[in-house]
Amino acid sequence: MPFPHAPASTSSITSGPHPIRFNFENTYARLPERFYSRLNPTAVPTPRLIKVNVELARALGLDPEALASPEGVQVLSGNRLAEGSEPLAMAYAGHQFGYFVPQLGDGRANLLGEVVGSNGLRYDIQLKGSGPTPFSRRGDGRASLGPVLREYIVSEAMAALGVPTTRALAAVTTGEEVLREEAFPGAILTRVAASHLRVGTFQYFSAQDDVEGTRILADYAIARHYPGAAHTKHPYRALLDGVIARHAALVAQWMLLGFVHGVMNTDNTSISGETIDYGPCAFMENYDPNTVFSSIDHQERYAYSNQPRVALWNLTRLAETLLPVFAQELGDEASALASAKEALAAFTPQFEAARLAGLRRKLGLVTERKEDAALAEDLLNRMAANRADFTLTFRRLCGAAAGPEGDKEVRTLFSDPGAYDAWATGWRRRLEEEPIASAQRAATMRMANPAFIPRNHMVEAALDAAVEQQNLQPFEDLLDVVSRPYEDRPNLERYTKPARPEERVNHTFCGT
């Protein structure tokens, strides 16, 4: 049964003398009310600004100075509603570590509304950690400072790396404590997304046999994210094709950067093809395909190497929800099933093609040869056997591509430097077949191989300083570094180095 409409409480929410203008244009709030529950954020005692993302604010047509003002902080904390805001908590379901939960929803988030950016695209503005909702399942609906800062750092790093992702518009502290395994300072993240539609959103209606709701949601997703699909013979199949293609490209990008999402549940699989929900995420240091960071992933379901398989599994769940509208579109269930299987069969070839194209860029190859895949896999296997740092190896290959004198810096990353030497011989033979000069090749490679990633020990150090010492400078410094990941920047070498043994952070936590 759908959630009942929840009346908004306005007892502690007021309009300010200088309204913050978001120019909201809300479309999701026009959908039937079984899609969400309307309610306002829960007020907090003493909100204080941590950070406003000036560049992103301007791209969204917002005034960053107004957002940072006392009135703006009241909006970013949920204490005050901006003009045109229609707060709601979205309904969705999801498979969590393989187990289906038919009703999840925004248990600690409010979708304030939608804005149209300077690029003409529509974006959700959401408060994360804004208090309990009808979907909270006895939770407090709050977020603590550490996970908020982690999502801010990592999502902005991913954006700078060129990966489709939600973004952080702002963060505030709330002046109250939230209780997890111990008491932590509370915080709220203002998150920006192309939308918050998830595979789990479709599963919510499917679980209730609400075919009309599934169709309405599919039509909305097409209009918002895949408008070209509306003009095809089979729009719902085109929708599925589009989501599959975007996730094939997305997960390939994750793999090419050594990124481990950590909690690839279907409710964390976005229809827009963005990376969403940065919980126990991290970037690998020593290359190991079996790397797992999440403290609750005991079965290693979401290990680095499993991410493509899990993405396909999640997309298969989406296809299942669409079978009834496929059947309406195609005329019968057998045709619907065949069409869904055909669409899903495209994922692996698309992912493998995107990954191989990315590996060629990382290795400085602009032409295609049949043996390129074997060359790349041979390097990865040698990196794994020699515990070579993923990011540093590829970044230092940029120098080696300029000339053999650069080999020295790469081979020191291998426990057996001869393993690199043996591979480099074949790589150099392959580079001789390329039509570009070595200097141009090295420059191109530097745009595919970042110098800086948010290394886990650096992230944790920044979070510890903020939470335990109320010192936000390490957060600011790290954010500045990862926001320009492809530049060689003097005096910042410490951010490129792997963790020392005593600094290693092998387990990360969801934060809920």
Q: Which two tokens stand for residue 139?
A: 């939770």
Spatial distance between the Cα atoms of 77 and 44, rounded to a whole number of angstroms = 7
**What phi and psi, each to the nearest 5 degrees, are found at residue 383?**
-65, -45
Spatial distance between the Cα atoms of 170 and 52, rounded to a whole number of angstroms = 4
The residues near 231 (Cβ < 8 Å, ≥ 6 apart) are: none
Give the residue among 163, 167, 158 at the shortest CA–CA distance from 58.
167
Dihedral angle of Cα 139, 144, 150, 155, to the nearest 10 degrees: 60
Burial class (CB in 10 A: 0-12, 13-18, 19+), 489: middle
Q: How many CB atoms lie within 10 A of CB 113?
A: 25
SS3 content of the chain, % helix, strand, coil (to 5): 45, 15, 40
The widest CA-to-CA distance across the chain, in whole angstroms, is 72
The type of residue at 292 is: V
Spatial distance between the Cα atoms of 16 and 20, rounded to a whole number of angstroms = 8
Active site residue 267: yes
Within 365-490, strands assigned E span none
Give the residue among 194, 145, 142, 195 at the shortest CA–CA distance from 35.
195
**What phi and psi, each to the nearest 5 degrees, are found at residue 357?**
-60, -40
Spatial distance between the Cα atoms of 63 and 484, rounded to a whole number of angstroms = 23
Q: How many CB atoms lie within 10 A of CB 327?
A: 18
Q: Element (H or E) spanning 247, and its range?
A: helix 235-257
| Cα atoms in the 13 Å half-sphere on the side-chain side of 104 | 21
Q: Which two tokens stand for residue 143?
A: 């977020």
Spatial distance between the Cα atoms of 6 and 376, rounded to a whole number of angstroms = 55
Q: Which residue has the tokens 């978001």?
A: 22
Q: Which two tokens stand for residue 109?
A: 């988030």
Give the residue among 72, 83, 147 at the shortest CA–CA distance from 109.
147
The residues near 156 (Cβ < 8 Å, ≥ 6 apart) are: 53, 167, 168, 479, 482, 483
Task: Pick the catalytic residue from 106, 124, 241, 267.
Answer: 267
Give the active site residues.
267
